[in-house]
Amino acid sequence: MSWLDRLKTGLTRSTAKLGDSLAGLATGNVPLDDARLDEIEEALIGADLGPAVAGRIRARLADAKFARGIDAPGLKAAVAAEVTAVMAAVAKPLAVTAFPRPHVILVVGVNGSGKTTTIAKLARRFTEQDYTVMLAAGDTFRAAAIAQLKIWAERIGVPVVSGEQGADAPGLAFEAVKAAREAGTDVLIIDTAGRLQNKAGLMDELAKMRRVIQKLSPAAPHDTVLVLDATTGQNALNQIEVFRDVAKITGLVMTKLDGSARGGVLVAAAEKFNLPIHAIGVGEGMDDLRPFEAADFGAALVGN
């Protein structure tokens, strides 16, 4: 399948949740009155698009050109157009811009969000673009995270800097930047711990990690990417707030859109936080994480 077909397939649950609601609210030749507009707005909020985006779409539909009503395809097209407009402002693929190298990417997120596999998929995409890549197992809190990253690094064919469970994560990040610089590596991707139950400890660790990295590369990390799990729905917004304060995140990646009926939360996140969305994932395969495209997402979300 093409990526667009995979995206549509992956968003099937979210599409059903939103598309079926919209189809039932189309009015044909009956005017779109306030009561029906209220129902449409409620359906959009129920599909996790958030009140701000739902309000904007309601206002668009209240336009005089829909005075004679609107059929299901027209309603879906109007919603898709507004979703695309919101998302186009934040669609921004990760780019390797740092000079001197390496371009350092710090990856953060709660345990279970798909952080480690996302790192592997990003590394794979960078290698396909002819960049040299190194990984760093900075989540020293979990032995499983270290082991998993080593396995992925071997599969992709890239080096990994790692230590034992419980090792000093900032110290490991320092060694990784040093190794990447000495090797002339283009991109260094650093995993981090995701134990939000101890926000103070995590904040201190990430702040220290930044400080030690900047001793070698003052502009680093060049990107701090938060990985979100789509199945958490509105909780993803809470995670963005926490990590924005704790980690100074610069962009988002959303995974597991294929396992959720709550893909609309990405629209709410874009509207609320205006953070770049770098990529989305709709499966477990290495090719199932792709740069975010606003128009494709908008069309797929409503089933067009």
Give the residue numbers of the binding site for GTP: 109-116, 191-195, 255-258
- Buried-exposed string 52-79: b where 16+ CB fall within 10 A, e elsewhere: ebbebbbeebeeeebeebbebebbbbbb
CB atoms within 10 A of CB 239: 23
Which stretches does DSSP call E strand in the chain? Answer: 103-108, 133-136, 160-161, 187-191, 223-229, 251-255, 277-281, 289-291
Six-digit token string for 130: 């002819």
**Residues at the annotated binding site?**
109-116, 191-195, 255-258
Taking the C-alpha atoms of residue 118 and residue 126, their distance in angstroms, rounded to an integer, is: 12
For the chain, the residue count is 304
8 A C-beta contact, residue 201 and residue 88: no
CB atoms within 10 A of CB 95: 10
Taking the C-alpha atoms of residue 232 and residue 217, their distance in angstroms, rounded to an integer, is: 35
